[in-house]
Copies of this chain bind each other. A is one copy, B any other.
Amino acid sequence: MRMSELLKRSGMPLATVKYYLREGLLAPGEKVGATMADYGEEHVRRLALIRALTEVVGLPIAGVRTIVGLIDEPEADRFSTLGRAIEVLPPAVEADPDGDYPRARAALEEIGQLYDPGYAAVAQLERGLAAAESVGLPMGRERLHGYARHIMAIAEIDLAQLPGADTPRAVEYSVLGTAVYEPILAAMRRLAHQDLASRMLGGVAADRDR
C-alpha cells in the first residue's frame, strides 16, 4: 500500500509516521520508485503497537524503542528477552543484580519461587512489602501463601495464551498483557471487595434481587 493508505489505516498523521520512520521504530517501505514506497500489513501492525505502547501503556519513546528493538532483534535467550521487555513497563524501579531485597527474598523463598535480584519486579515487590510494613499492615504468612497461590493461577491463565515463545508476537503479548491487565485486576479486586462487603454489611446489594 502507499503511504496515504497507511495513514488512513493507522489513523496517524504523516508527520508522526515520518518521525517513527526516522527514529527507526518503523521499517522503511519497499522502494517502488524515486519517491514512492510500498508498505505492508506489518507496517500497519507496528504502528498499532507503537500507539498502544505510547497512548495506552503510557511509555516514553525510549521505552518503545527498547521494546521494538527486542521484537526486531531478540536476544538468543527468549526468557531474558521477555524479562527485559517487561522491565520497561512502569513502575520505574531500578533493578540491581547485586542489590539486597530482604523482604522480597524471604517472601519468594517462603513460597518457593525463583529469587533473581536482577529482575526489576523483585525490587518492586521489596518496595511494596516495605510500604505495607510502614503503614502497619505487614504481609503475614497466611496472606502471602494465599495471594501466591491465586496469583500463580492467574499467571497460568496469562501464559496459556502466550503465542509461541519464539515469535515476535510473544514479546508484544507479554508487554501489552502485563500492562493492560494490571489495572483491570486491581479494579476487579476492588469490585470483589465491594461484592463481599455488600453481603457482609448489607448496603446497596442487600436491597437487590441477586
Residues of A at the B interface (CB closer than 8 Å) are 48, 52, 56-57, 77-80, 82-83, 86, 91, 108, 113-114, 116, 119, 121-122, 124-125, 127-129, 131-132, 134-137, 139, 142-143, 146-148, 150-159, 161, 165, 173-174, 176-178, 180-198, 200-205, 208, 210
Contacts and interface: CB of A to CB of B under 8 A. Distances in A.
A183 to B, nearest CB: 4
Contact of A125 (B191, B202, B203): B191
B158 A193 contact: yes
Stoichiometry (number of copies): 2
A193 B178 contact: yes
B182 A186 contact: yes
Contacts of A174: 193
A188 B151 contact: yes
Contact of A128 (B176, B180, B203, B208): B180
A132 B180 contact: yes
Contacts of A205: 114, 116
Given A192-B152, A192-B154, A184 B79 contact: no
A191 B128 contact: no
Contacts of A136: 48, 52, 176
Contacts of A201: 78-79, 82, 165
